[in-house]
Amino acid sequence: MRTGWSSKRLGDVSEIRYGYTESASFEPVGPRFLRITDIQEERVCWDRVPYCIIAPELLPKFRLETGDIVFARTGATTGKSFLVSDPPAAVFASYLIRLRVLSDIRPSYLSYYFRWGVYWAAIKEGSAGSAQGGFNASKLADLEIPFPSGTEQERIVAILDEAFEGVATAQANAHTNLQNAHSLLDDYLKAVFMHHGKKWVEKRLDEVAKFSSGGTPPKQNESYWSGKIPWVSGRDMKSTRLSDSLLHISKSAVDGSSTRMAPTGTLLILVRGMGLAHGAQIAELMAPCAFNQDIKGIHPEPGLIPRYLLFALRERVNSSGTAMSNAAHGTLKIDSAELVGLTIPVPPREYQQRVVTRIDSLTEETQRLGSVYQRKLAALDELKQSLLHQAFTGKL
């Protein structure tokens, strides 16, 4: 720490308070009611924040003011913070903690401190042992904060503001380039399957493929879950090629339950689950596998290259307005009748192979570019942490 700096407990330089225990109301009565979910990318769209009915005498106790900092104190977002600026009449929910500066320390200086890796290490350590995560007001109050003079704090904030603005611009450019890399493949798929050649024919999926269903062996039979046969579920559907899975079953499980084996070359399509939020999830089996009831097996006819059908079907499911819908319990599903009735553009086999070769080449290039931009984003995150480390150790 730089000479002339001190270290103070956060609880000694600020007021720390839990939020108001009440349910949000979407009737336009009372103040806004800030929740963890309203804080997105360090911003709050106040017009979307619900309201809260609160007794007038309690409002001053829980009101948010410019310069307040709120923290998520539980769950997956524990430690996430937000510096309040020009809020409307608003209070904060009980699973947030409000920090209000009482002495000569700048809220913006503290806000940067709460992005530093040292702070996050303290959050992780303080949350250890809790299944839901959690960091209470007492632990927050005990945090030791580097405390330079007010002038020095303002100098540090000015430097960080300028540097972080530049980093944010670089990050935005990297994200744009990453999206552009992914759009290379999407644009090609649309071009291929929207503009057919003369020898192409449109066929229903059930005209060019057969189908099979999967199942789950009883969990209570331990012998069913001690084998080496891959058993594919929705969480395995993260690639267009599959040869293994997280869970494995025995041959007796295949023989004695509703699950089925699918041979190499089968396409597996996820027909139920939140994985569909990212569009159709389809994979080609590179080795025989079993699969569960949330997945349907598709077995192409001999004249159809499985990998060509994979991409054609994915494009048709994603562009269809009716194939995907919500199940009764809220998860997404692909309707079986809609699926088998989808029309697939079928060109001559040699053209199918050219399409597959081109798609695989574009996929490889997309992944290469994606890796480049992911590394750039990681480097920018490291740069921010380096700047914060210099700032709070007196080296900036």
The model's pLDDT over 262-289, given as tens digits with 9 standing for 90+, comes to 999 999 999 998 888 888 999 999 999 9
Q: Is 186 helix (H, G, I), strand (E, B) or coil?
A: helix
Give, to the nearest 10 degrees, the angle between helix 306-319 and helix 150-194.
110
Q: CB 35: neighbour CB atoms within 10 A? A: 20
Strand 96-101 and strand 69-72: pairing? antiparallel
Question: Does residue 79 come out as left (phi exceeding 0), alpha (psi in the -120 to 50 range) or beta?
Answer: left
Residue 232, both tokens: 């594919």
Cα distance between residue 93 and residue 34, in whole Å: 6
Question: What is the pTM (predicted TM-score) of this model?
Answer: 0.69
Residue 317, both tokens: 């499911």
For residues 295-305, average pLDDT: 95
Q: Is 132's pLDDT higher than 60?
A: no
Q: Which residues contact 14 (CB under 8 A, 6 or more apart)?
A: 99, 100, 101, 102, 103, 105, 110
Q: In terms of C-beta density within 10 A (0-12 exposed, 13-18 middle, 19 or more buried), how is residue 11 classed?
A: middle
Query: What is the per-residue pLDDT across 322-344, written as a single tens digit (0 to 9) for each?
Result: 788 876 666 789 988 999 999 99
- Per-residue pLDDT band for 181 (boundaries 50, 70, 90) equals confident
- Per-residue pLDDT band for 200 (boundaries 50, 70, 90) equals confident
Closest CA to 28 of 2, 53, 59, 45: 53
Of residues 26 and 344, more confidently modeled:
344
User: Looking at residue 77, what is its pLDDT?
Assistant: 85
User: Looking at residue 24, what is its pLDDT?
Assistant: 78
Q: Is 362's pLDDT higher than 80?
A: yes
Residue 375, both tokens: 């590394």
Residues 99-102: contacts with CB under 8 Å, at least 24 apart: 99/10, 99/14, 99/15, 99/16, 99/68, 99/69, 99/70, 99/71, 99/140, 100/14, 100/15, 100/16, 100/17, 100/65, 100/67, 100/68, 101/13, 101/14, 101/67, 102/13, 102/14, 102/15
Cα distance between residue 358 and residue 347, in whole Å: 15
Beta partners for residue 9, in sequence order: 144
Contact 260, 288 (CB under 8 A): no
How far, in Å, are 41, 117, 165, 168, 204 from residue 380 at the CA level? 16, 14, 12, 9, 48
Q: Is 133's pLDDT higher than 60?
A: no
User: Looking at residue 2, what is its pLDDT?
Assistant: 76
Cα distance between residue 109 and residue 112, in whole Å: 5
Contact 108, 82 (CB under 8 A): no
Contact 250, 224 (CB under 8 A): yes
* Mean pLDDT, the chain, integer: 90
Question: Does residue 243 come out as left (phi exceeding 0), alpha (psi in the -120 to 50 range) or beta?
Answer: alpha
